[in-house]
Structure 1
Amino acid sequence: MTHDEFVAGIRERYSDLFDPANSDEDWRYLITIGPGWWPLVEEYCERAQAMLRDHGEVGLWFVRQIKEKFGGVRIYVRPATERLNVDWYPQAVHDIDPTPVQELLSDLRSQIVERANTTCEECGDVGGLRVINGWYRTCCEKHFEEWQRRKGSI
């Protein structure tokens, strides 16, 4: 499966989790991780969508981005602007009291991030954080060796 096919599947199956105002261009950058972490993202989306449905909060929380940063997965979730009743929400996000759903989403995100920290982003095998010349990746031994060869480190 290609990255575009994976993202299209997530977009279709978990549409409740993503802002319907996202353009096709937005979707190009919304999920930018390697295939080894795709099952973790799929699990996150499945569990988060069920959580929102169970608590009657569908459309009130949206995944804004899922990406790799410093070798770890980052999942950014924000309230919908309707929840805050403002046109521009970033400055107001910190002004709302945490809701039970917000705490549940945060706990779920922490679980997924923790598992990604020991999962190769490339293949999904057991891995760990590796560093070459200030670049960070979570990968297995095989993909670390490939990365070293590409970087000219060995």
Structure 2
Amino acid sequence: MTHDEFVAYIRERYATLFDPTNSDEVWRYLITIGPGWWPLFTDFCEQMEGVLRHHDKTGRWYIRQVKEKFGELRIYVRPAPYERPDVDGFMEWVDDIDPPEPTHVEEMLGIIKQQVTGRAAHVCEDCGEPGELRVLDGWYSTCCDRHFEEWKARKASRKS
């Protein structure tokens, strides 16, 4: 499966977990992780969907971005925009307002995210085999021995 096919699958299968106003351009950069982490992210989506359905919050929380940063899986989840009366009595569109106290749903999503990203710390982002965080010339990656050796070889060939 290609990256584009994976994103299309996620976009269709878990449509309620993403902002329906996302453009095709947004979707190009919304999920930028390697195939080794795709099963972990799919598991996250499955669990998130279950929590939201159980608490009648479907469409109230959206995945905003999924990426690798410093060799770690990062999943950003935010409340959906909502309307609230402003000072003059008109409705104002509000986005990304955190409630003062975490809600039960927010806590559960945080636990799921923590579990999935914790598992990713031991999985090669490229192939899904056991891996670990590696650093090469200040760049971080979670990868297996084989992909680490390939990474070192690519770096060395660029220097020569």
Task: Report the TM-score range of the alignment, normalised by the length of the smaller protein.
Answer: over 0.9
CA offsets, 1:76-110, max 9 Å, x none?
Answer: 0000111x7352434x32x4321100000000000
Q: Which residue of 2 aligns with 1:107?
A: 111
Q: Which residue of 1 aligns with 2:88?
A: none
1:1-154 equivalences under 5 Å are 1-82=1-82, 85=84, 87-90=93-96, 92-93=97-98, 95-152=99-156
- Give the alignment's TM-score, normalised by structure 1: 0.93
Work out the number of aligned pairs and report it. 151
Larger radius of gyration: 2
- Give the alignment's TM-score, normalised by structure 2: 0.90
State the secondary structure of the residue aligned to 2:140: strand
Structure 1 runs (4+) greater than 4 angstroms displaced: none
Q: Percent identity?
A: 57
State the secondary structure of the residue aligned to 1:20: coil
State the secondary structure of the residue aligned to 1:67: strand
CA offsets, 1:49-79, max 9 Å, x none?
Answer: 1110111000110000000000000000000
Q: Which runs of 5 or more residues in structure 2 are unaligned?
A: 85-91
Q: Which amino acid aligns with 1:60?
A: R
CA offsets, 1:108-147, max 9 Å, x none?
Answer: 0000000000000000000000001110000000000000
